[in-house]
Amino acid sequence: MWHFIGKRALHMLPVMLLITFLVYGMMLAIPGDPARALVGPGEALDEEQLALIRAEHNLDEPVVVQYVLWLGKALQGDLGRSSQSRRPVSQELATRAATTLQFGIVAWILAVIVGVPAGILSAVYRGKAADYVATMVSIAGVAIPNFWLGIMAILLFGVKLGWLPTQGYVDIFEDPLDGLRHMILPAFALGITSWALIMRQSRSAMLEVLAQDYIRTARAKGLGERRVLAVHALRNAVLPIVTVFGLQTGRIFAGAVVIETLFGIPGMGNFMVQAVFARDFMAVQGAVLLMAMAVLVANLLTDVAYAWLDPRIKYGG
């Protein structure tokens, strides 16, 4: 097992390197003088000052050299300075990343605790009304724009009914109850696609499991229906959750950019959007890099979880 993890992690290194190159490459797309873009607006710069910036970011070197020097700094956690706040980008990202992580995890947990039981029930009551409703919801959940669902939720629960807060963020570790109250609507909107996919996957996995011999044997042995479901079925239904996790991490981050903006959650996504409007290039670059790395790590976790859960995958592979 450890051998497998080590091998997968090693395999990840060249990919990681490529990712950093792609992120750095964004800068090459800037039209005109990148030195101007790097310091951001609000500074009236003369040629001398621009030359200093070029030297600081090695912009006069060949692209490959620029990249290697940048990578060296990035590896030490130096992602440059935000042109808006003049604080180090890594420092700006640290607080926001924690928020996005917390938010993403709540969305994910919500998706699992709603999606898995719904999928299982829908399989158990196959062809009944409950199954029908669950299937409809899972189809709609994939096609609905998550931010539009958020807008509609704000309209209904915030504006019309006034039941739930529609904006802002309270740290769950500081005030769990209030934190969750603030998180419900955005997490629901962010997680809807994952929720629909988990429901769909658990349903089909469950149907497959229910048809298998050992469940029939277990039933025949007189185990209670609930125990049969709990013991055998559930264990086998974990795989779909892992699958969806692997597929959805990237989209959860992408979704967070929009949902954080909509609900005013001060996470990485919100930060990125503000940075785009402020032409704060270093900040955007840092945020994109961090998110891409997070997706990569999530993919690794998915692979490992797969290998661990599914005996058919050999660790040596």
Partner 1 sequence: MASERSLAQRLFGVPYAAFGFVVIAVTVVLSLLAPWIVPVDPEEMDFDNLLSGITSAHLLGSDQLGRDTLARVVYGARIALMVSLGAVGLGVLIGAPLGLLSVYFRGWADDIIMRAIDALVVFPSLLIAVGLAAAIGGSLTTVILAIGIANVPWMARIIRSQALLIRELDFVSAAEASGVGHLRIMLRHILPNCVAPVIVQSTLSMGYAVLTEAALGFIGVGIQPPTPTWGNMLQSAFPMIEQQPLLSIVPGLAIFMLVLAFNFVGDAMRDVLDPRLRGVLY
Partner 2 sequence: MALGSCVLACVATLSGCRERATAGDLPTALKTHDSGPRYGGHLRVGYTTEPMSLDAVLGRSGGDAYYWHQIYDQLIDAHRDLRPRVETSLATSWEISTDPNAITFQLREGVTFHDGTPFDGEAVKRNVERILDPATMATPRASMTVITSVDVLDPHEVRFNLSRPWGAGRNMLADRGGVMNSPAAVSALGPDYGWHPSGTGPFRVENVITGTLVHLVRNQSYWGTDEAGGRLPYLDEITIRVIRNRTVLASALRTGEIDVAYLPYNDVATFERDPRFRIETYPGGAVAMLLTFNQSVAPMNDVNLRLAVSHAVDPEVINRAIYFGRNMIADGGMWPIGSWAHDSTVPRPTYDPEKAREYLRRAGRPDGFEFTAVTNNDTYLVPGAEVIRAMLKKVGITLNIEVLATGSATEGFFHAGAYSMYVTSWSRYPEPDWLASLAYKSDGFYNAGNLPRPDMDRLVEAGASLYDVAERRAVYRQIDEIVLGEAWYMPLLYSVIYAAAPADVGNLDQLMGWDAKMSLKTLYLAR
Q: Select 184 or 254, whichever has its Cβ closest to partner 1.
A: 254
Instruction: Pick from 6, 33, 77, 95 the residue near partner 2 by CB under 8 A.
Output: 95
Output the six-digit token pair for 22. 């792609």
CB of 44 to partner 2, least distance (A): 5
Query: Binders of partner 2 among 4-63, rule CB under 8 A?
Result: 40-44
Does residue number 168 form part of the binding site for partner 2 (CB under 8 A)? yes
Query: Binders of partner 1 among 227-256, rule CB under 8 A?
Result: 247, 250-251, 253-255
Instruction: Pick from 72, 145, 224, 264 the residue near partner 2 by CB under 8 A.
Output: 264
Does residue number 2 form part of the binding site for partner 1 (CB under 8 A)? no
Instruction: Pick from 6, 7, 22, 65 the residue near partner 1 by CB under 8 A.
Output: 22
First-to-last CA distance in the chain?
11
* Whole-number Å distance between alpha carbons of 288 and 298: 15
Query: Binders of partner 2 among 189-218, rule CB under 8 A?
Result: none
Does residue number 270 form part of the binding site for partner 2 (CB under 8 A)? yes
Contact track, partner 1, 30-69, x by CB under 8 A: xx-----x--------------------------------
Q: How many residues bind partner 1 (CB under 8 A)?
A: 57
Residues interacting with partner 2, by CB under 8 A?
40-44, 84-85, 92, 95-96, 154, 158-159, 162, 165-169, 262-264, 266, 270-271, 274, 277-279
